[in-house]
Amino acid sequence: LRKMFGNSRARSGVIVLPCGAGKTLVGVTAATTVNKRCLVLATSNVSVEQWRAQFKLWSTIRDDQLTRFTREARDPVPSGPNANKPVVCISTYSMVAYTGKRTYAAEEAMKYIESLEWGLLLLDGMSRLNLL
């Protein structure tokens, strides 16, 4: 993280750590340090809930700054004065990559995700994805 945030500014980069080395805590720390919108993509709904719990445990993020977009959980999209504040959106690869017909709420959530400039993208569990 020191190299990523050197000279008081964030740089792009990839952080790869072995199992149990604290990747989630590094991700939460990076997101809170950058203090910009953060999109977290995980492999499953269980992982989404784990990320949410870790953000609440290791940061001072408020519930209205933390949104989930899964089949089971769709938190309200920030609106009004909170619309331009940093937010963490946690979803699954499959929800974001889905190209079929969506419900109205899912379509609105995707429009929200696509319309924003994200300061940080955290990709969890990439080794478990079948990319071919």
Structural domains of the chain, with CATH: 6-125 (3.40.50.300)
Q: What angle do CA 82, 30, 40 make, to 5 degrees?
A: 65
Tens-digit pLDDT profile for residues 14-62: 777 888 888 899 899 889 888 889 999 999 999 999 999 999 999 999 8
Q: What is the pLDDT of residue 132?
A: 41
- Express as a percent the part of the chain with pLDDT over 90: 33
Maximal CA-CA distance, the chain: 46
Q: What is the pLDDT of residue 84?
A: 76
CB 4 within 8 A of CB 10: yes
Mean pLDDT, rounded, of the chain = 84
Residue 7 reports pLDDT greater than 90: no
The amino acid at residue 109 is A
